[in-house]
Amino acid sequence: MQTIDYTQKIPNNVDLKSDRRLQRALEAWQPNYIEWWKSMGPTDFNEKDVYLRTAVSVDKDGWAQFGYVQMPEYRWGIFLEPQEKDRIIGFGDHYGEDAWQAVPGEYRNALRRIIVTQADTEPASVEQQRLLGHTAPSLYDLRNLFQVNVEEGRHLWAMVYILQSYFGRDGREESEELLERRSGNPDHPRILGTFNEPCEDWLSFFCFTCYTDRDGKFQLLSLAESGFDPLARTCRFMLTEEAHHMFVGQTGIGRVIQRTCEVMREHPDADVREHGAVPLEIVQKYITFWNSSSNDLFGGEISSNASNFFSNGLKGRAYEEKLDIDHKALEGTYSMDVWEDGGLSHQEVPLRNAMNEVLRDEYVKDNEKGIEYFNKVCERNDVSFRFRLPHRRFNRKIGMYADGRFDIDGNPVDEATWNARVGEWLPTQEDRDYVKSLMVPCYEPGKIASWIAPPAKGIDGKPFEFEYVKL
């Protein structure tokens, strides 16, 4: 079960060949996927050798193997964590019952919606990032971009496997539609807002992988608790891949900050722009934009959907099984500031209705650690600038705070104040133009662009100078 069968057309550890119908359905979808990759993925680099890791086993150690691969030849496949014996449902009204190995009829539509929403983000991010290969600051970064891209492609495979094996004809139709929606297309957009935002420069890419992929981590953590066992198992393995995406984002932003700090130290009286670095204020605005947009991905603060997903055992809290908490969450309340009639009032909300907020809390906590890391970079360089997260009410498009305007500390402000100050908080056109002007590719092995510091170490024990992509 553990070892992945690479002799098959579709590598897998789910004994796909024993289910001929499913195998045929997935083999029929495969060319459409490749077609999508070739038109919507990093198209101009499809013939290049990229030093990529591929999953070879789902064991804790040694699941990855590194080697040169041309991206369309990447072995996208289906990998689930092994089935846990006698697993029970860990939360909600079905707490303590056997986990479901088939889709429970009454939750079929809700589950399908959850899976399709998660699935849609995977190809969306590949589409958002498809042109970034033309402006990478180094071969190391170029390789990391492509690694993230192929793994998001694999995450799509993971979700499509679940759709096709458990949702019959509906699942097959959904799988086709996942290849038809397009990020940012006004007529046929991706499902969630952040996944339609343009991501056209590398600072945005790092912020995306830091904040939007981290939303992915928490969505996967909550689905990894699902009473629907195949979904839980597939999400557990996806989480191991997700960790690298956040590493790319977190260290990427950190390296931009490091470079700017170095320039500030060398030229204390100059504008860092004269030396091709990104002012820390602009880095902060990019963080603020992507973080606030990604906050929306957790959904409304008070949500009957979230309550139902929890009660029905479909979507738990992050780390639900490990935590010593009331797994039914029937009694507790959650205190939050409710935005009503233009004012905030403190209210106690039934815990089940606040499940989106509970998950967002975990997300914010994780992000705060990331901010500490950025501030350590400043401290180490004797630079007094300090980074921060925007308040979760800031710049929201989803949930109750979307009806108001809030400053970066979460205080309500009127429209005029918002308009006057938004340029202090979010990137202006001028900021974006400046960042864009820095996006010049740097593809000589061992060289790096002016606006970012090299990484502390390379990939797979290789030095930074290694030829990660053969152009």
Residues that bind Fe ion (CB under 5 A): 122, 152, 155, 213, 216, 242, 245
CB 420 within 8 A of CB 278: no
Closer by beta carbon to Fe ion, 122 or else 174: 122
Closer by beta carbon to Fe ion, 165 or else 209: 209
| 248: number of Cβ within 10 Å | 21
Length of the chain: 471
Give the tokens for residue 223: 């689905």
Q: How far is the CB of 148 from Fe ion (least distance, A)?
A: 6
CA distance 425 to 402: 17
Closer by beta carbon to Fe ion, 245 or else 405: 245
Give the tokens for residue 133: 């290969």
Give the tokens for residue 197: 């935002």
Q: How far is the CB of 120 from Fe ion (least distance, A)?
A: 11
Residue 78 gets which letter from DSSP?
A: B
Closer by beta carbon to Fe ion, 240 or else 381: 240
Which distant-in-sequence residues (6+ apart) come within 8 Å of 152 by Cβ? 122, 123, 125, 126, 245
Closer by beta carbon to Fe ion, 216 or else 230: 216
Number of H helices, E strands in the chain: 12, 5
Q: How far is the CB of 116 from Fe ion (least distance, A)?
A: 14
Phi-psi region of 86 (alpha: psi -120 to 50; beta: other; left: phi over 0): left
Phi-psi region of 381 (alpha: psi -120 to 50; beta: other; left: phi over 0): alpha
Phi, psi of 317 (to 5 degrees): -85, 160
Closer by beta carbon to Fe ion, 128 or else 353: 128
CB 449 within 8 A of CB 211: no
Using alpha carbons, select from 126, 159, 146, 161 the residue that is nearest to residue 10.
161
CA distance 458 to 471: 18
Using alpha carbons, select from 148, 180, 176 the residue that is nearest to residue 163.
176
Owner of token pair 């680099």 = 45
Q: How far is the CB of 24 from Fe ion (least distance, A)?
A: 26
Phi, psi of 402 (to 5 degrees): -65, -20
Closer by beta carbon to Fe ion, 177 or else 348: 177
Q: How far is the CB of 244 from Fe ion (least distance, A)?
A: 8
Q: How far is the CB of 321 from Fe ion (least distance, A)?
A: 22
Closer by beta carbon to Fe ion, 158 or else 453: 158
Q: How far is the CB of 168 from Fe ion (least distance, A)?
A: 25
Give the tokens for residue 334: 């959650």
Closer by beta carbon to Fe ion, 246 or else 306: 246
